[in-house]
Structure 1
Amino acid sequence: MKHADLLPLIATTFEQMPFNQLLGLKVTRFDLEQAEVCFDWSEQLIGNPMQKIMHGGVIATVLDVVGGIMAVSSALSRMQAIQQDELFSRLGKMSTIDIRTDYLRPGRGQHFTATARVIRSGNKVAVCRMELHNDTGVHIALGTGTYLVG
């Protein structure tokens, strides 16, 4: 399979992860330039019941997921072709090395969009920049993730 053929398979794999399903994450864009994950507000995501704002762990998780998707894409883009079983074997070995989350504003809104772009991609490690915005365009959080990809 060529890289472009793998993108929907990778997106589906991330969407089917049980924790990502619990959060309601949907991959809405995924190409060589950017990954995008969206989800809706839910009472289960509250971290501060007095202010009814999103839990910081949810924010960090969503940034990590979208960054991970983009890191996987950057690693696989170096390959001419890969078989589906080899893809799943490689996905099982990829992981987050480090993630930094900067919380800029409270997590309020009805719909949220997280995006990621690759900053640097090497043979072993990829670094991505991630952002989370709400449905009115408010920039809620910024993240930088380092991922083991090789």
Structure 2
Amino acid sequence: MSPATQPTVPAFEPEFVTALKAIFEEKIVFNQVLGLKVTELRADGASGRIAMRPELIGHFAYNRIHGGAISAGLDAMGGLAVMAALGAKHMDEPPEQRLHRFSRLGTIDLRIDYLRPGIGSHFDLRATVLRLGSRVASTRMEFLGPDGSLMATGAGAYIVS
């Protein structure tokens, strides 16, 4: 579809975005450990950022981020993308009802491909929902260095019911 013929998706309500960010950044404590911050929410995905810190180093000689931090960050972003997609799918419901749907969300499959060493001051993460079914959602994720280079990719499946 050309940009002119793509269907428009209503914007999320500010209270929905605020609540979803709070759940993701504050109530999911492991995301705080990673330092994972939401930078964008879309109807089909989400973006975030991790600032490099000494606690995330996996190889001390090279100041490389640990592969587990990459994997966990991509998994979390995949889940957030699914939350955003669910929120967009059920725009007819009040924000608090849509937020309650996330209590059943969980990872059922995750694949990470490490392409380059994770060296940098910060890392950007992107996740896109490929399919949102009634029981399972599929996502694709990217882990990018400060210069935009692709350092890792991921694919995830999440239970949504």
Q: Return the TM-score normalized by structure 2.
A: 0.85
Q: Which runs of 4+ in 1 moved over 6 A?
A: none
Query: 1:125, 1:147 within 8 Å by CA — same for their partners in 2?
Result: yes
Deviation at 1:119, TM superposition (A): 0.8
* Structure 2 counterpart SS, 1:11: helix
- How far apart, in 2, do the equivalents of 1:96 and 1:148 lie? 6
- How far apart, in 2, do the equivalents of 1:118 and 1:50 lie? 36
Match of 1:37?
Answer: 48
Deviation at 1:3, TM superposition (A): 7.5
Fraction of identical pairs, as percent: 35
- How far apart, in 1, do the equivalents of 2:120 and 2:81 lie? 25
Deviation at 1:76, TM superposition (A): 2.8
Gaps of 5+ in 1: none
Equivalent of residue 4 in structure 1, options 12, 16, 20: 12
1:82 aligns with 2:90: no
Say which is worse superposed, 6-15 or 103-112, in terms of deviation: 6-15
Match of 1:59?
Answer: 70
* Structure 2 counterpart SS, 1:142: strand
Q: How many residues align?
A: 148
Query: 2:45, 2:85 within 8 Å by CA — same for their partners in 1?
Result: no
1:112 aligns with 2:123: yes
Match of 1:143?
Answer: 154
Deviation at 1:78, TM superposition (A): 2.2
Query: 1:35, 1:70 within 8 Å by CA — same for their partners in 2?
Result: yes
Q: Select the structure with the greater relative contact order (CA < 8 A; seq sep ≥ 6).
A: 1
- How far apart, in 2, do the equivalents of 1:3 and 1:137 lie? 27
- How far apart, in 2, do the equivalents of 1:21 and 1:134 lie? 20
- How far apart, in 2, do the equivalents of 1:11 and 1:122 lie? 23
Match of 1:93?
Answer: 104
1:73 aligns with 2:67: no
Query: 1:41, 1:110 within 8 Å by CA — same for their partners in 2?
Result: yes
Deviation at 1:77, TM superposition (A): 2.2
* Structure 2 counterpart SS, 1:123: coil
